[in-house]
Amino acid sequence: MKAIRYLARWRQAREMALTPAEQASPPARRPYDLRHAAVSGWLNAGVPVTQVAEWAGHSVRVCLLVYARCISGGDEAARRRIDAALAAESETPEVSLAPEPADSHPRPIRRQPETTGLDRTPPDITLAEPEPTTGPELEL
């Protein structure tokens, strides 16, 4: 379907489904507007940007470039989380400085996160080879 016909059908559907006041509002003026509203809502609800990017199907970099200006009101919530973390930290009992036996806590196996596959986006950057250095250059 051509874009012009698609948008005409979209407008007809809006007229049939929405009140005149709803039709005059910016959300859903175009199908993309619904996506933009959803992604902005997720970010403002505190969903981690990594999860939002995965749901939206693009990289974290693109998500932040496009939607960073839409995130609002997070300052106060972030301050409360920091205060709660600091309060919890000050309430923890003193920890013994005596070394523990080496085998008392098994070490977790850490793996690189999966960056490709069905619900994964590729990394934002590729690592470039470092340029060889010949030594310090001093300009006097």
Asked whether residue 44 is assigned to any structural domain, the reply reads: yes
40 touches 67 (CB < 8 A): yes
Cα distance from N-terminal residue to C-terminal residue, the chain? 68
Asked whether residue 97 is assigned to any structural domain, the reply reads: no
Rounded to whole angstroms, how far apart are CA atoms 47 and 44?
7
pTM of the model: 0.47
Asked whether residue 72 is assigned to any structural domain, the reply reads: yes
Rounded to whole angstroms, how far apart are CA atoms 61 and 112?
19
Domain that holds residue 22: 3-88
Is residue 139 scored above 80 in pLDDT? no
Asked whether residue 94 is assigned to any structural domain, the reply reads: no
CA distances from 68 to 4, 9, 49, 79 (A): 30, 31, 10, 19
As given in the structure block, the two tokens for residue 64 are: 């932040």
Rounded to whole angstroms, how far apart are CA atoms 67 and 31?
17
Q: Which of 15-24, 78-87, 92-101 bottoms out in mean pLDDT, i.e. has the lowest?
A: 92-101
Is residue 128 scored above 60 in pLDDT? no
Q: Count how many domains the chain has.
A: 1
Query: Stretch 116-140: mean pLDDT, rounded?
Result: 58
Asked whether residue 21 is assigned to any structural domain, the reply reads: yes
Q: CA torsion angle for 10, 42, 50, 81 (degrees, to 10)?
A: 170
3-state secondary structure 32-70: HHHHHHHHHHHHHCCCCHHHHHHHHCCCHHHHHHHHHHH
Asked whether residue 137 is assigned to any structural domain, the reply reads: no
Asked whether residue 25 is assigned to any structural domain, the reply reads: yes
Say which residues have a Cβ less than 8 Å from residue 93's Cβ, sequence separation at least 6: none
Asked whether residue 122 is assigned to any structural domain, the reply reads: no
**Of 21, 56, 61, 57, which Cα lies nearest the Cα of 40?**
56
The confidence score (pLDDT) of residue 51 equals: 95
